[in-house]
Amino acid sequence: MAIGDELPVKNQGHTRQRKIVHVDCDCFYAAIEMRDDPRLRGRPLAVGGDPGKRGVIATCNYEARAYGVRSAMASAYAKKLCPDLLIVPPRMAVYREVSAAVQAIFADYTTLIQPLSLDEAYLDVSDSQVCKGSATLMAQEIRQRVRDSQGITVSAGVAPNKFLAKIASDWNKPDGLKVVLPDELEAFVAALPVERLHGVGRVTAQRLNNLGVDTCAQLKLWRKADLVREFGSFGERLWELARGIDERPVVVESRRQSVSVEHTYDQDLPDLAACLDALPPLLDKLAQRLGRLEGQYRVSKPFVKLKFHDFTQTTLEQAGAPVTPEGYRDLCIQAFARGARPVRLIGVGVRLDNAHSPLGEQLLLF
């Protein structure tokens, strides 16, 4: 059964059926480790850094998640939650190779592919004639081909837009498929908790809950003007999502928005002076990474990110600020003042413009 046949959308003067597939590999890094070493299966497993060196969990399998272990969690804390957790170091070259093979499978169904990371992507199959144009059958085939060729599982969501396709891919994880048909869209969205909406984090969800809004059905009762008054410009987006509206296209050309370097320290940096002393090697690495872009972008503005010892963090960026060691020192001073606490991580970077302009002058500033 094809998805979206009943949902015409305008496209350059005519209508077509919009069919979006979101494919998400299940616990990608951990799945590859279990594939390559069957002895790891069935036990709590994570891929990440050393707990004794301020490491962080990159991903974990479902056995580990049962203990509350999650990605981006400090490895030491993960071990407290699950003392039997085995943490293995990442093998990025292997993960990239598998990702490339999975992306090659996608290309057999459409040229409109938007990778979000190594392990997930949007596919616009609206005009694809593969599987007789059925997005559902395409998703089923993709899942089977990835399983057969790579030995890992993927979950997929099929829907008339990106917002719903991404939610659907998480619906029956792991190794699942969820299809949201156009005539099911209204009821499906109405039952969604507001926490599932794209862009709604913990703070916004709590604000909505405090206003008596727990589901999209309740959110839909609000007028757009009232949501804008409460949430600013994001209120208009909330109004759209509560109705299942998402006109964002699948963007094929993914150009870099930023380049950055960050480091987590084995011991907290106790004060501002220690943070400033830590900047030069980070800036050297940043200059090297910018040099590898070969003049494809123009530097827009610099930024500094600090994560304090209590895991709160702040990022400070400033258009027009000099991309120089002195400029980064000034940003670091301002960022540190926001927390004035020991620092566990420092990041430095630049935002990029999508302009074909050489970076040579900027690099000289380092």
- SS3 labels along the chain: CCCCCCCEEEECCEEEECCEEEEEECCHHHHHHHHHCHHHCCCCEEEECCHHHCCEEEEECHHHHCCCCCCCCEHHHHHHHCCCCEEECCCHHHHHHHHHHHHHHHCCCCCCEEEEECCEEEEECCCCCHHHHCHHHHHHHHHHHHHHHHCCCEEEEEECCHHHHHHHHCCCCCCCEEECCHHHHHHHHHCCEHHHCCCCCHHHHHHHHHCCCCEHHHHCCCCHHHHHHHHCCHHHHHHHHCCCCCCCCCCCCCCCCEEEEEEEEEEEECCHHHHHHCHHHHHHHHHHHHHCCCCCCEEEEEEEEEEECCCCEEEEECCCCCCCHHHHHHHHHHHHHHHCCCEEEEEEEEEEECCCCCCHHHHHCC
Residue 197: pLDDT above 70? yes
Q: Is 24 annotated as a binding residue?
A: yes
| Structural domains present in the chain | 8-27+93-183 (3.30.70.270), 37-89 (3.40.1170.60), 191-241 (1.10.150.20), 258-364 (3.30.1490.100)
What pLDDT digit, counting tens, does each position of 254-272 carry? 667 788 888 888 889 999 9
Is the pLDDT assigned to residue 5 strictly greater than 50? no
Is residue 148 marked as binding? no
Between 83 and 255, the higher pLDDT residue? 83
Active site residue 120: yes
Residue 355, pLDDT > 70, answer no
**pLDDT tens string 126-155:** 999 999 999 999 999 999 999 999 999 999
pTM comes to 0.69
Query: Residues 6, 97, 120, 195: which is the catalytic one?
Result: 120
| Percent of all residues in the chain with a pLDDT value above 70, rounded to a whole number | 90
pLDDT of residue 286: 87
